[in-house]
Amino acid sequence: MPRRLLTLTAAALMAAAAVIIPAAPAVAAPTFKVPFPCGQTWSGQTRTNHSPPNSIDFNRTNDVDDPVVASASGTVDRVTDLGNTSYGKYVRINHGGGYHTYYAHLNAFRVSVGQTVRHGTVIGTVGSTGGSTGPHLHYEQRLNGADIRIRFNGTLALYWGTRNYTSDNGCGSGSTAPGTVRTAGTPLTVRSGPGTGYASVGTLATGTNVTIHCQTTGTSVTGTYGTSNIWNRIGSGRFIADAYTYTGHSGFIPGVPRC
Ligand SMILES: [Zn+2]
């Protein structure tokens, strides 16, 4: 068979194939993760009288102002305060393919509209705003505007009832942040835990660059960047006070998990 004829046949087949491929194939769901930092365990409740019905309400002990993180990468498209009604302060993230997640009754916002987020990015804190009778996170997954049954890592949540969900959100690499030690000249003491009461495990000169793996709260320290009780874990059993760490953020760093 002449080569030219082969080419034409292939082109004809490709054209035919192009016609029968659906114009808008279904998009796979994003890999949604539990909307709390890596390693945390939260009690999640579903119930038939919930609005909308497939939502989950998350709780744990003393959860007011605990950080809430993005379930998956996307773009924040709503940061809205409905006052004392409905969701109160809520964030919506657009994950593409028609998928959105909702985070409601927040006490505080940590993102703004248009911001790109990824797994584990802190978007706000747990509260009791809107039509809420106690602190919790109201969480939804939606497809094309309709609430859908929630899945984490592809596994269906419990419908109906209450169970614990442990987060692996932001556990991997890519959720660290760079920092730089800044003191007036005295070397900064590295501690074995998040506080001045923990053992000294070394010192770092001002100007030293560090990698922050996670952040937590501990002893309040007054340093180069004011007073803060945030401590940065820069290695295994190695913590430094955020008050002496330049991170480009005041307070917790978006995307860096809590220890
Ligand atoms: Zn709810």
CA distance 8 to 71: 48
Distance 86 CA to ligand 1 centre (A): 10
Distance 107 CA to ligand 1 centre (A): 15
For residue 120, the model assigns a pLDDT of 87
Give the pTM. Answer: 0.62
**Residue 223 burial (C-beta neighbours within 10 Å; 0-12, 13-18, 19+):** middle
Distance 51 CA to ligand 1 centre (A): 7
Residue 87 pLDDT grade (very low, low, confident, very high; cuts 50, 70, 90): very high
* Cis preceding-peptide flag for 42 (omega within 30 of 0): no
Q: What are 162-179's pLDDT values in tens digits? A: 999 999 998 764 567 889
Distance 235 CA to ligand 1 centre (A): 38
- Amino acid residing at 96: G
Range name among 73-77, 166-170, 189-193 with the lowest pLDDT average: 166-170
161-184 in b/e form (b: 16+ CB < 10 A) is eeeebebebbeeeebbbebebbbe
Helix ranges (DSSP H) in the chain = 3-20
Distance 49 CA to ligand 1 centre (A): 10
Which residues lie near ion ligand 1 (Cβ < 5 Å)? 55, 57, 138
Q: How far is CA 27 from CA 143, 147, 169, 224, 257, in A?
A: 11, 17, 22, 48, 29
